[in-house]
Amino acid sequence: MKTWFKEIAFSTRQQRETVDLTEEVLSAVGESGVRNGLLVLQLPHATAALTLNESEDGLRRDILEKLDDLIPVRGRYQHDRIDTNAHAHLKSALVGSSVVLPIVDGSIIRGTWQNFLVIEQDGPRRRRLAVFVMGE
Ligand code: ZN
């Protein structure tokens, strides 16, 4: 069984935004040459999140606004005694930062509207997404 690894480097431009990395992920999996196996995506950051969802502009704004409703940027957070980004850590903890998906006959098993969206909450900054593929 083969294993393959790559990091997709990208930059975010705003404090809070979504970034669609679907094209980059699909091309990385193609590059791996694995046609049947598992895709593991890990966003190695504590103030951003990774989710699968539709890359429609309104929905992408809805996701950001709903996260702000649930976890406002300013609040009485303990972490803000030493930093200013508790809300970003909490949103990352809530949404999560990794996904595992099957690859079957050269295609990643995902829904039509399941794009790979990074939810930035503490930008702008340099980020990376780790892509690990195993299979044959
Ligand atoms: Zn912090």
Does domain 2-135 bear CATH number 2.60.40.180?
no
Taking ligand 1, which is a single-atom ion, which protein residues have CB atoms under 5 Å away? 83, 85
Q: How far is the CA of 49 from the centre of ligand 1 (A)?
A: 14
d(CA 132, CA 33): 12
Structure tokens belonging to residue 133: 């593929």
Q: How far is the CA of 125 from the centre of ligand 1 (A)?
A: 14
Query: Chain-centre distance of CA 112, in angstroms?
Result: 17
Q: How far is the CA of 8 from the centre of ligand 1 (A)?
A: 23
Q: How far is the CA of 98 from the centre of ligand 1 (A)?
A: 19
**Cross-strand partners of 117:** 20, 51
The one-letter code for the residue type at 90 is: L
Residue 31: band (very low, low, confident or very high) from pLDDT cuts 50, 70, 90: very high
Q: How far is the CA of 32 from the centre of ligand 1 (A)?
A: 34
Q: How far is the CA of 55 from the centre of ligand 1 (A)?
A: 28
The model's pLDDT over 79-121, given as tens digits with 9 standing for 90+, comes to: 999 999 999 999 999 999 999 999 999 999 999 999 999 999 9
Please state the pTM of the whole predicted model: 0.97
Residue 2: band (very low, low, confident or very high) from pLDDT cuts 50, 70, 90: very high
Residue 37: band (very low, low, confident or very high) from pLDDT cuts 50, 70, 90: very high
Mean pLDDT of 42-62: 98
